Structure formats: C-alpha cells, structure tokens
C-alpha cells in the first residue's frame, strides 16, 4: 500500500493550531506522511516539532496575504478587537486560497484536512480530486446542539433572555437561554460571521467527512446522533493530546510565562486535590471589574489556587484588590501570560479546573481526571458547559449566562467562591472526582492499540486508501 500524504491547514489561532499539529503527529506515528500549511506567525511549534525529530512537513503561506487590507501586524484571531478588523481578517483568510492551491499543486497530497473557518478549501480539494476532511475542533455534543439551534431556531419560542428553551431532538433534555447563544445564530443579519457560517454549510456538501477531537466513550450518544440521526460522516480520533506524545508534561502552545520548576515546587508543597487551577484560555478577556470579583472570590473560597491572567492586563494592575497578592501569598500563585497547563492539571495537588470550556481545555481537564468549574464566555463554550455539568456530571457552573466576545463580566465574588468550594470540598466533590477519574482512564484506553479512537483512525486510513474522486457525472 502506498504511503498516504495528508495536508493539514489550521486557521490562525492557538486553539486551532495546537490540535492540528497533534493530529499531524498522530498521522505520522501511524505511517502516513503529513504536511502542515501554516502562516509564518504560527510556524514556530512546527519547526520545534521538526527539530525534536518529528518528520512533519511545513509549507508557509504569507499572512496577511498580498493585497489584503488587514494591517500587517494582525496575524491571529485573538487580535481581532473590533468589527472592522474582524471583517478584514475574514477576507484575508479567503485570500489565502490561491497560495494554498499553489502549494497543493506542488505537493499533490491524497487528502486535505482543513479548519472549519476555511470553507473555500472544499473547492480546492475538489480541484485536485482529493477528499476534504473538515476539522471543527469541538465536541460531538456541541456540533449536535449547534445543528438543532441553526436548523430549528428553538430560541424563538421564548420572549425573554431569562426564560429557558429546550433544544429539541437530542439524546438528553438540554435547555439554554437566548443570552447564551451566539448573536450570529440569533440575528437574521448579513454580518461577516453569518456569511462565513453559510459558506461553511455550503462547503459541507462538498466535504468527504469530519475528523473529531473526541473519543466515543466520552459522548457516545452524541457521536451516534451526529452520524446516524443528523447523517454526517465523522471519525472521532482523540483526545489528540494523548495520541501525540506519551509525555504528560508536554508543552502545548506558546512558551510558558513561569519557570516550570518554580511552578512544580509550589505544587509539590500542597496536599493532593487541594489546588484550583483557574484559566480562561487564549482568547477570552475579562473586564477589570470581573478580574476584581474573581480575585475576591478566590480569596473568600479559602482554597489554594493557581490563576492565569492574560498578559495584556499586566501593564495595568488597577484591577487587583489592594494587598491581594500579599494576603494570598501562601496559597495563591498568579501566572501572567501563558501557563504550562497540561503539566499543572496532571499534578496530584490539583483538585479542580476553573475553565472557559474551550474544547482543548475541556479535553485537557478530562484527560487529567479533574472536576471542573465551568465559566463559558463565547463561541460554543456554553454548549460544552452543558456536556460537563449535565451529561458527564464532572463539574459545576459558576453561573455566567451571557455570551460576549470581549470584556466579559457579571459573575460576582460569591458565585466564584461557592463554585470553587463546591467542587473541592462540597458534598458532591468526591463523586465528581470519581467520575472525572473514570473518564481519564477511558481516554487513555481509547487511543491505545485496539481502543475506539485507534480503530476509528484505522477505518479512516482504509477509506482514504480506497478513495476514488467522483466524476463530473457523480457530482451533478
């Protein structure tokens, strides 16, 4: 059998690049050839992987591309701070098509795996007679919820933001509030994201299937629902962070802002399951008022904590309550910038994870076997929260009910303190921890030889090996 060559195209965000690189590593460990098409700003993790001996290919495409109206210093999703920049960024992403096709012309791969935000790549794959696999970077659960919300608009059945509505047609009874739904779903508008979502739906018709960073045992009811009820072809091959390396202390993403030995020795000084790790991911931002409330809540909880605060807040520390760092010196560690999250979560001292419910972070919590305090902010994070708190039973909600892209606020200190206490020392904490540990074991088994994700990848490789491009007749 000839060696299959797979080209992967992530979009320009840390949370999208990290699992794509891990997927490339996974393909390579299973005997395939893999090349990533990346922009210069996102090439460092790939060159680092190459220098550590991984035979992954790298093809660079400039971003912003020539002719784009995007300022040259805007290279990543997390820099989109206003609607005008967002428009320009999305248009710049569309303009990558020609340079990507020139690379495909040169490489002639057997399959294209591309990010959800690059719908034009379905046409590119068709031009070269190869299958396109879409990567949405989230859970089956959130894909099923999104599908129902987009299709049936159940939020129209309620008149206020405080009235819950049922998401119909799902394996569990899931209710949401209008305020937890993306405005792109709610508004019948022609904004740039609405157009992009339409293009993504159109691209699906020309897409061979989907690769999902999940594992069957975590959400089997939703994997089955997605494939058999919604009728989409998909393979769950994760958790990718476990597939790509055996080192649980691996670094994912940027360089850490704290010396890892310093962080480890601090954790070593704490008893098992007594530290709360607090991190809101690489894109979400909190207002100064919210940071103050969070600090007060962590202090009031009486628990040990590690708190990661976004670097852009560092210049201005007005948010920090007077004397806060001094008062919590013995039980609180603040990291400003990027943290070695996988290492921290896998330390025996860590007993809970306060997370924004981005799917990468949620899976890191699952793989570490820690209960979660869910604090969703935007994107599909409110859906992932429901999976954790209501389906898996491995977490409690902090109570945020408002979808907002920037400067999130509205969660008071009492809610923070209460949720943190509940997950560490509350009446249900032991059962939550037992469930979380159970999913951790299942995750490990899924990626081992003979496990569900391992076998799914076998099936996918077999299908790709037998792939024959549809003729013009087939597509009409």
Instruction: Tell whether the model's pLDDT for residue 363 goes beyond 50.
Output: yes
In a domain, 71, yes or no: yes
Instruction: Tell whether the model's pLDDT for residue 214 goes beyond 80.
Output: yes
Average pLDDT, the chain: 92
The answer to whether residue 115 is catalytic is yes
CA angle 115, 117, 119 (to 5 degrees): 85
Q: Residues 115, 147, 225, 356: which is the catalytic one?
A: 115
Tell me what pLDDT residue 81 has. Answer: 75
226 plus 371 within the same structural domain: no
- Report whether 353 contacts 345 (CB < 8 A): yes
Tell me what pLDDT residue 249 has. Answer: 42
Specify the number of domains making up the chain: 2
61 plus 140 within the same structural domain: yes
Instruction: Tell whether the model's pLDDT for residue 247 goes beyond 50.
Output: no
Confidence of residue 224 (pLDDT cuts 50, 70, 90): very high
User: Which of 95-104, 256-265, 313-322, 385-394 shows the lowest mean pLDDT across its residues?
Assistant: 313-322
pLDDT tens column, 32-90: 999 999 999 999 999 999 999 999 999 999 999 999 999 999 999 888 878 788 889 99
336: β partners: 309
Tell me what pLDDT residue 476 has. Answer: 45
CB atoms under 10 Å from CB of 423, counted, come to: 28
In a domain, 255, yes or no: no
pLDDT tens column, 92-137: 999 999 999 999 999 999 999 999 999 999 999 999 999 999 999 9
Tell me what pLDDT residue 257 has. Answer: 64
pLDDT tens column, 404-438: 877 888 899 999 999 999 999 999 999 999 999 99
104 plus 126 within the same structural domain: yes
167 plus 241 within the same structural domain: yes
In a domain, 167, yes or no: yes
Tell me what pLDDT residue 315 has. Answer: 47
In a domain, 102, yes or no: yes
Tokens of 398: 């902090």
Global pTM reads 0.94
pLDDT tens column, 138-179: 999 999 999 999 999 999 999 999 899 999 999 999 999 999
Tell me what pLDDT residue 308 has. Answer: 93
In a domain, 473, yes or no: no
In a domain, 253, yes or no: no
67 plus 102 within the same structural domain: yes
Nearest to 440 by CA among 337, 338, 371, 349: 371
Tokens of 104: 């495909």
306: β partners: 277, 333
Burial of 238 (0-12, 13-18, 19+ CB in 10 A): buried
74 plus 138 within the same structural domain: yes
Determine which helix (DSSP H) or strand (DSSP E) holds 113, and give its type and residue range: strand 111-115
Range of the domain at 145: 5-245+447-467
193 plus 327 within the same structural domain: no
Instruction: Tell whether the model's pLDDT for residue 226 goes beyond 90.
Output: yes
Q: CATH code at 406?
A: 3.40.50.2000
- Report whether 56 contacts 28 (CB < 8 A): yes
- Report whether 63 contacts 96 (CB < 8 A): yes
228 plus 325 within the same structural domain: no
Tell me what pLDDT residue 9 has. Answer: 98
Q: Residues 16, 225, 347, 356: which is the catalytic one?
A: 16
The answer to whether residue 98 is catalytic is no
201 plus 307 within the same structural domain: no
In a domain, 475, yes or no: no
15 plus 151 within the same structural domain: yes
172 plus 277 within the same structural domain: no
432 plus 457 within the same structural domain: no
- Report whether 374 contacts 395 (CB < 8 A): yes
């Amino acid at each position: 059998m000839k060696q299959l060559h797979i080209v992967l195209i992530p979009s320009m965000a840390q949370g999208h690049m990290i699992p794509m690189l891990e997927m490339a590593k996974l393909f390579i460990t299973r005997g395939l050839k893999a090349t990533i098409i990346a922009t210069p700003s996102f090439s460092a993790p790939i060159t680092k992987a190459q220098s550590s001996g991984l035979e992954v290919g790298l093809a660079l495409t400039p971003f912003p591309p020539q002719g784009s109206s995007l300022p040259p210093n805007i290279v990543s999703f997390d820099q989109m701070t206003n609607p005008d920049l967002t428009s320009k960024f999305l248009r710049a992403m569309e303009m990558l098509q020609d340079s990507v096709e020139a690379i495909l012309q040169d490489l002639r791969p057997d399959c294209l795996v591309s990010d959800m935000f690059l719908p034009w790549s379905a046409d590119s794959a068709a031009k070269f007679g190869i299958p396109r696999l879409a990567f949405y970077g989230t859970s089956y659960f959130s894909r099923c919820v999104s599908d129902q919300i987009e299709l049936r608009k159940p939020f129209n059945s309620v008149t206020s933001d405080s009235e819950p509505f049922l998401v119909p047609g799902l394996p569990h009874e899931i209710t949401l509030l209008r305020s937890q739904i993306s405005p792109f779903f709610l508004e019948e508008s022609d904004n740039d994201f609405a157009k992009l979502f339409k293009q993504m739906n159109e691209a699906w018709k020309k897409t061979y299937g989907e690769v999902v960073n999940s594992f069957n045992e975590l959400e089997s009811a939703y994997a089955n629902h997605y494939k058999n009820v919604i009728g989409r072809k998909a393979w769950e091959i994760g958790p990718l962070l476990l597939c790509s390396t055996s080192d649980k202390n691996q670094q994912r993403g940027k360089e850490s802002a704290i010396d890892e030995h310093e962080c480890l020795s601090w954790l070593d000084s704490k008893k098992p399951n007594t530290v709360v790790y607090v991190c809101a991911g690489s894109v979400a931002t909190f207002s100064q008022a919210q940071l103050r409330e969070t600090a007060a809540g962590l202090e009031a909880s009486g628990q040990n904590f590690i708190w990661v605060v976004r670097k852009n807040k560092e210049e201005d520390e007005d948010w920090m309550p007077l004397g806060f760092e001094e008062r919590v010196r013995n039980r609180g560690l603040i990291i400003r910038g990027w943290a070695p999250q996988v290492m921290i979560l896998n330390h025996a001292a860590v007993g809970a994870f306060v997370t924004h419910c981005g799917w990468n972070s949620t899976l890191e919590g699952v793989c570490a076997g820690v209960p979660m305090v869910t604090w969703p902010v935007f994107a599909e994070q409110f859906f992932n929260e429901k999976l954790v708190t209501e389906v898996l039973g491995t977490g409690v909600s902090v109570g945020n009910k408002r979808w907002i892209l920037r400067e999130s606020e509205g969660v008071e200190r009492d809610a923070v303190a209460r949720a943190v206490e509940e997950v560490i020392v509350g009446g249900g904490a032991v059962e939550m921890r037992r469930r979380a540990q159970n999913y951790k074991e299942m995750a490990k088994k899924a990626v081992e030889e003979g496990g569900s994700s391992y076998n799914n990848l076998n099936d996918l490789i077999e299908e790709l090996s037998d792939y024959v491009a549809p003729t013009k007749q087939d597509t009409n």
